[in-house]
Structure 1
Amino acid sequence: MADKFEAIESHLELFIENTRQLGIIASDFKPQGQNVLNQKIHKMITDMQEIDKLKAQVQDVQVPLEVFEYIDQGKNPNLYTKDCLEKALVKNEQVKGKIDAVKRFKNMLIVELSKSFPNEMAKYRALRGDDRPT
């Protein structure tokens, strides 16, 4: 899978470099440089055709829109993964806290119900296979 990304990445890098060079040639254009300019333009067209051929290899890749927001903000897209993991860790801790609170509530409820309804709670514990005294 990494091979298809490496192929398109290398073609994109070549395209970017040729675009940069074309910009330099065009910004400092002299009539004797027309042939070089034409070659660069043709090279860009060829590069775009190559990139277009490679797009089929990566059409199944889903990229979250937030990644593009990171890029637009000038952030490294790898930070998106890090931020997602940090958010998941925080959420996991919150859910764990809620689960612990519900378990404590359940245990307190069983204790209180055992005081008020000892026979019923004994039957409940027997059904659960729980021999712990309350």
Structure 2
Amino acid sequence: MAPDRIDQNVYEDQLKDIIQDLYELMVQTTSYGNVGQGVSSKDVLQNTVAHLHASLTQLHASASSPSATPIRVPPELIQYVDAGRNPDIYTREFVELARRGNQLMKGKKQAFGSFRDILAREMASALPEVKGDVENVVRETGGEVGKLYEPAAGEAGEA
């Protein structure tokens, strides 16, 4: 797992350098002709463009090397950003959707567990010859055999 993090840090640093180069290029083009004595605006601009080119070439070489870990960005996120929306909102919505899905799955798991226990209790009482098999199934599916023979909620007053 560590090499992936190192690759991400390298890409991150390279992207930061490219952003810095682009910022410097913007500054150089807006202040073209206002450079100090003895320095040509043309030379400064050429050096900035050359440095940007070198940074982009280095990023391309890093990204296309066989040892590079591919960075996968969900297409939905790209569309979200292309539409001019904030990627943080996309992340928040994704987390909320995952949380909702997890809560739904937890509810289903509890419902099926409850159904398993009720079915097992009824089968064990109706068919005593399969009681051992029923207990084994309950144990193997994550249930507690000891709870099978306790009165269920709502059954305590009946009898």
Instruction: Tell me the TM-score normalized by structure 2.
Output: 0.58
Aligned partner of 1:15 in structure 2 is 21
- CA change 1:82–1:127 in 2 (3 A) is closer
Structure 1 residue runs of 5 or longer lacking an equivalent are 27-34
Matches for 1:30-69 after TM superposition, within 5 Å: 36=41, 39-41=44-46, 43-59=48-64, 60=69, 61-69=71-79
Is this contact kept in 1: 2:124–2:134, CA < 8 A? Answer: no
- Offset of residue 109 of structure 1: 1.5
Is this contact kept in 1: 2:22–2:52, CA < 8 A? Answer: no
Structure scoring higher RCO (CA < 8 A, sep ≥ 6) equals: 1
- How many pairs were matched up? 126
Aligned partner of 2:3 in structure 1 is none
Aligned partner of 1:106 in structure 2 is 116
Structure 2 residue runs of 5 or longer lacking an equivalent are 1-5, 33-39, 140-144, 151-159
- CA change 1:8–1:78 in 2 (3 A) is farther
Aligned partner of 2:132 in structure 1 is 123
Is this contact kept in 1: 2:77–2:90, CA < 8 A? Answer: yes
- CA change 1:90–1:5 in 2 (3 A) is same
- CA change 1:77–1:57 in 2 (3 A) is farther
Give deviations 1:21-52, integer Å, cap 9, x for gaps.
466468xxxxxxxx635742552243122221
- Letter in structure 2 aligned against 1:5: Y
Give deviations 1:86-127, integer Å, cap 9, x for gaps.
222111111111111111111221233244x33234233465
The structure where helix makes up a greater share of residues is: 1
Aligned partner of 2:97 in structure 1 is 87
Tell me the percent identity: 19
- Letter in structure 2 aligned against 1:120: E
